[in-house]
Structure 1
């Protein structure tokens, strides 16, 4: 498993808020998927309310 840094922004009441998180996944696609899943469940967001700008391997 590799570590990926995922950067982007998500919808809030006041507009868009930036985020940066580190995810352990097998590849970039799974890192994106885990990020969408985690932010959706933690912040009660739909996938359309989350914009991933960059996924970088560490």
Structure 2
């Protein structure tokens, strides 16, 4: 497994909130899916509300 850093933005109470998460995953697609799942459960966001700006290995 490799570490991927996923950067992006999501709508917060007072405007957009930037984020950067480091996730251990098999590939970039799996890392992005983890971000969608985590932010969806923690912040009550839908996938369409989360903007992924980039993924670095």
* TM norm. shorter chain > 0.5: yes
List gaps (5 residues or longer) in structure 1.
none
| 1:46 and 2:50 are equivalent in the alignment | no
Alignment root-mean-square deviation, CA? 0.7
* TM-score, reference length from structure 1: 0.92
Normalised to the residue count of structure 2, the TM-score between the two structures is 0.94
- Offset, 1:13: 2.1
Structure 2 unmatched ranges of 5 or more: none
| Aligned residue pair count | 57
Tell me which stretches of 4 or more aligned residues in structure 1 moved more than 6 Å.
none
